[in-house]
Structure 1
Amino acid sequence: MRRLGTRWMACGLALLATVLGGALTLRAWSVQPRREAELSGLRLRLERAVWLHEPTDHGDTATLPALPGAPAPGQRRLAVELTVFNPRNVPLDFTSGELRLTGSTPGTEWRPSAGGPTAFTVRPAELLPVTLSFDVPSTPSALRLEWARGTERATLLSTRRPRSASEGPAGWPRRVEELPPGNVAAGSALFHGRLACTACHGNPGEPQGPRRLGPALGDFARVGATRVGGKSVAQYAYESLLNPSAFIAPECAGQAPCTGPSTMPLYGETLSPQEMADLISYLVNLRKEE
């Protein structure tokens, strides 16, 4: 009897695992982007989704007047073209509010901006084109276009908001505070090891030691805070690592003036956000650590 009970328990656990696995599979499938979905009788198809360009995307740095209906400054617009079809034999209602753009942070979402009808009655066998737009502020979050009717939901698109020309290199936040917390020891290992920063800047622990190309960094915590007005030493270090030619230091090897463009590598192309944070933490603590 004990052996029989053990077998029944094993079978029960296997059945439970199968059911749970099936449920998880269905849930995972439900959040995968599908360009076409049918919810509560209506069928919706995503025909086209385009992030609209800004004038500054093409090198125009002039401040342009805001046009009626244009996104607010700092926002990018996602234009979405859809078709709604009613395969049933009774009229069905559809509202643009059923669509939303959500971010990976819980509670972050954007509804379609006004600019046309927001509610439709779709007659049997009728096919309607619908154009919507979403105005999104700066965010590094992955975005999903979701359609919800009652308790049913479908994900139609996964995308990311393109960065404006004024927001810095793609893939990097604008402010250093948006990076993960940095580790001084890990930054030191990068500086003295893999990145070989001492080859150009010398050893920060030996201010009078030999330098080859770049400025000395032994007193960077103090000097870096004075480089650019209004920028903290951490923000200055961050922007210099992303774009070394943005500010040319006044003094390089042998007390000679530094010349541009900078020959320092573009570390935004080789470092992870965590490595960037670690290196900055090391630089802004040099006066204490070295």
Structure 2
Amino acid sequence: MVPPSWRQVLGVLALLVTLAGGMLVLRAWAVQPSREVELGGLRMRLERAVWMHEPTDHGDAARLPTSEGAPGPGRRRLIVEVTVFNPGRTPLNFEPGELLLSEAARGTVWRPSVGGRGVFTLRPAELLPVTLSFDVPATQGPVRLEWERGTEREALLLTQRPASPGDTEGQPGWPLRVEELPPGREAAGSALFHGRLACTSCHGGLARPEGPRIAPFLGDFARVGATRVAGKSAAQYAYESLLDPDAFIPPECAERQPCTRPTLMPLYGESLSPQEMADLVSYLMSLRGGG
């Protein structure tokens, strides 16, 4: 029998590696989450999942107030919105606590920190919207949003917890006072407000106080902002709100309704430079009514 050549051996090894890689790909595909699943006679669809900012720590220099019900230091909140539908002919119970987050690296499981209690009975053809919050500490790997109903479990989302300021070494801290920022440029702030940040998509037009919006009107921010928090100037209030939107929730938003808690406003301290922050505050301070 003629022994195989080294080329033949390498060819076989390459084939085995390819096959093994293909199996891994197939296995990974098989466990990919689905945004719509059905368990125990109910159907669930994941509508939205957003990681909110860590509310109290914005670097070594500034620790801003924590709003009531906010996650503790070092934790990030995942806001999850799902709809549950009963496609059957008989009423079925649903518990929001059936949803969970799991981390494979440590085998850790988190249950909802907000909105996970109670039992809802869904009549046939009834649709139930549910909003839940998960407060997650620093993790080693991805986390999965799963629906556990009886002995069955299905995955809806695979996500990675964003790093908190306390998790990342070398992240620059924000100064405590707005006056410590660089001098602001109103024109540059206007470009940010109306362009990249698209602030009017939530806050509405600056010349239309009663126009369509889902967040507070900002057309007269320089005046109203100074009344929001006792002892804080409008500029300081704007600065702290951009760093921590949940520190103070304005009492009135669209159509004179209470503003959403937690706010859907992004944590701009993670996406703006100190100069851009100063520019945006400068522009907000120019808004005194009339657009």
User: Given the two structures, how large is their TM-score scaled by the length of structure 1?
Assistant: 0.46
Rg larger in structure:
1
Normalised to the residue count of structure 2, the TM-score between the two structures is: 0.46
Question: Larger % of helix: which?
Answer: 1
**Looking at both structures, which has the greater relative contact order when contacts are Cα pairs under 8 Å and sequence separation is at least 6?**
2
